Structure 1
Amino acid sequence: MNKMIATDRPLWQRIPMLLWIAAFGLVLSGCAGRRPPAFQAGYPSPEAALRALAASAPVDQTFTATARIEINRHGERYPLKIAVMMKRPAFLRVESIPLLGPPDFFLSVAKDELRVYLPGKNAFYTGRAIPQNISRFFPIFMPASEMISLMMGVAPDNREESPALRGEQEERYYRVDGYALDRRTRSLWIDPSGNRLVRIRTFAEGETVVYEAAFAEHILVGEGFMPQRLTIAGDGMTELSIRYTDLRPIAADPESFPLPLPEGITPILLDP
């Protein structure tokens, strides 16, 4: 650290006290004038909010990270550490990072196909990347594209939802509600100060909550923002918490995602 240049007399002895206080007050008032507000006002319309959200979201890139996952099932918590590679709309590769020994779990989703390799059992599974198959190995029951979007902190595409939208400011966040046939299907909470998604909630008939996902600690990764922490939970669902470190974009094509079939192993088909 550079040393400050010493003077014969301290500043407060060389400037009259009242003038020093006045000058210091001007500095503080100038800084206060440039301080950002506690929260920024919302958007002129829900459509404008979604456009701003899309502009700040991760672009069409592949991302890697180390993830610490905590699975909360019926009050029992199971920690897991994995290396993850992901790309929208539905590309995923997962490799376990055990405390001791080599990786003992591999999973990939690519081109609507799920592949899982368990070296300890010398077993290789393959099948459609549908919720029924994915949930056998990964503690979440939803389509692959929806799961991967949430893992990246992005609102999943919902082609079945009508364009009927409503928006309103809710304290420091702006909420966008999507409706289909006059029924609310999901709500997004957006932070206007950074155009970042902080929460999403999906609904079934009667506005019963299917799941809620919360996102926090966003950082700039490549050309968009991604959360470093996220939680997905719902009634009857296993709660999944993920914390990322070393999030970064990489150059990788879709062919990098599918797990290769180990030599000498016959794959086990998950679909009948």
Structure 2
Amino acid sequence: MRWLMLLFCLGLAACQPRPVKELPAVSASQSVAELYRLEREHHALSALADVTVTRQGKRWSVTQGVVIERPLRLRVDAINFLGQTLFQMGIDGPLLQAYVPAEKKFYTGMATLDNVQRFTGLPLALPDLVACLLYSLPPGVVESAQIIETAQGVDLVLAPGVRYETVFSSGRLSGFRYRIDDLTLYEVAFGPVSAELDFPRRIELDVPQSDTRVVIALDDIELNPVLSRQQFQLSLPATAEEVPLNEMEPVDDQTVEH
């Protein structure tokens, strides 16, 4: 009788379903192809952006007209709720110009991370910022990385411990994380992607080390408009004082809160 019971138990064990290995929603080759496509097809943008920055517990919002062009061009016109200009900023390659009407000052300098952040509140280096705002990874990442397939998308490994971890949803890029070992330098999430525009209407950026979170809601999106170099260059107003950016104080909450 015991041997019958033993055979019965063994039969039950054999019928137990084996754990199923989680498979990626899309293949690695499909994910990489999509990353290449986004970088290739999204080369410029014009939009109205409602930007909310939360930094070390402080929160402020501003409406900005933004114009972006690969690889290193950015124009920002920030206005208040009355429609008055708070500042204008133009970046053409390595050079940054900014005009603050309330101060009657025209700032010039290099487009460093610190200088870009003091006006926009966005704590990213210019190449990363332009790529992020154009719904893609920074330049050169996809081409030079080792590709590792994951359940959510692909990891793009640039060096030991240095990688971009991507997340895909329904075949579309929904976010990525830039990590060095266990440290997350920044994380980006893309909101609902308009099927008509092939572009997200919301971009969220988290930078844990500086306790900064940025939410960008986009409207009046025009993808790949025809742009000229002059759109990214400002003219010195006759009544403004020209000030080198290296004479400004380091970035703090007061310099980025307009």
* Structure-2-length-normalised TM-score: 0.77
Q: Structure 1 residue 84: deviation in Å?
A: 1.0
**SS of structure 2 residue aligned to 1:153:** coil
1:202 aligns with 2:166: no
Matches within 5 A, 1:231-246: 231-237=204-210, 238-246=212-220
Q: 1:253 aligns with which of 215, 224, 228?
A: 228
Mapped partners of 2:93, 2:32: distance in 1: 28
Q: Aligned AA for 1:239? A: R
SS at match of 1:126: strand
Comparing 176-185 with 208-217, which one deviates more in the overlay? 176-185
* C-alpha distance in structure 2 between counterparts of 1:226 and 1:179, whole Å: 26
Match of residue 42 from structure 1: 26
Tell me, what secondary structure is at the counterpart of 2:151? strand
Matched positions, count? 223
Task: Say whether residues 1:226 and 2:204 are aligned partners.
Answer: no
Pair 1:41–1:132, CA change in 2 (3 A): closer
Specify whether residues 58 and 66 from structure 1 end up closer, same or farther in structure 2 by C-alpha distance, changes over 3 A only: farther
Q: Which one-letter code corresponds to 1:197 in the other structure?
A: L
Q: CA–CA distance in 1 between the matches of 2:51 and 2:123?
A: 16
TM-score by length of 1: 0.74
Q: Is the 8 A contact 1:47 1:165 kept in 2?
A: no
Task: Judge conservation of contact 2:35–2:142 (CA < 8 Å) in 1.
Answer: no
Deviation at 1:65, TM superposition (A): 1.0
Shift of 1:50: 1.4
Partner of 2:12: none
Deviations along 1:21-53, whole A, 9 cap, x unmatched? xxxxxxxxxxxxxxxxxxx9411xx34421223
Residue identity in the other structure for 1:203: R
Which residue of structure 1 lines up, in the alignment, with residue 56 of structure 2? 74
* Kept in 1: contact 2:176–2:189 (CA 8 A): yes
**RMSD between aligned residues:** 2.5
Question: Quick one: which amino acid aligns to residue 108 of structure 1?
Answer: G
Tell me if structure 2 keeps the 8 A contact 1:161–1:185: no
The alpha carbon displacement at 1:158 in A equals 4.1
User: Whose helix fraction is larger, Structure 1's or Structure 2's?
Assistant: 2
Query: Are the counterparts in 1 of residues 63 and 78 from structure 2 also a CA contact under 8 Å?
Result: yes
Cα distance, 1:201 vs structure 2 = 0.4
Which residue of structure 2 lines up, in the alignment, with residue 17 of structure 1? none
**8 Å CA contact 2:54, 2:214 repeated in 1:** yes
| Structure 1: segments with no counterpart, 5+ residues | 1-39
- Does the 8 Å CA contact 2:48/2:220 hold for their aligned counterparts? yes
Q: 2:237 aligns with which of 246, 262, 270?
A: 262
Range with bigger deviation, 95-104 or 80-89: 95-104
Find the counterpart in structure 2 of residue 141 from structure 1.
Answer: 123
Describe the SS at the equivalent of 2:150. strand
Among candidates 143, 156, 168, match of residue 178 of structure 1: 156
Identical pairs, percent: 23
1:198-242 Cα offsets, whole Å, 9 max, x none, are: 1110112x32111111001112566xx221001101213321100
Is the 1:53–1:190 Cα contact (8 Å) retained in structure 2? no
Select 2:188's aligned residue among 205, 213, 229.
Answer: 213
Output the CA distance in 2 between the equivalents of 1:251 and 1:179: 34
Structure 1 residue matching 2:86: 3-state secondary structure: coil
Pick closer, same or farther for the CA change 1:115–1:228 going to 2, 3 Å.
Answer: same
Shift, 1:264, TM fit: 4.4
**For residues 39 and 157 of structure 2, what CA distance do their matches in structure 1 show?**
23
Letter in 1 for 2:187: E
Q: CA separation in 2, counterparts of 1:220 and 1:263?
A: 46
Residue identity in the other structure for 1:185 = R
Q: 1:60 and 1:79, CA in 2 relative to 1: closer, same or farther beyond 3 A?
A: closer
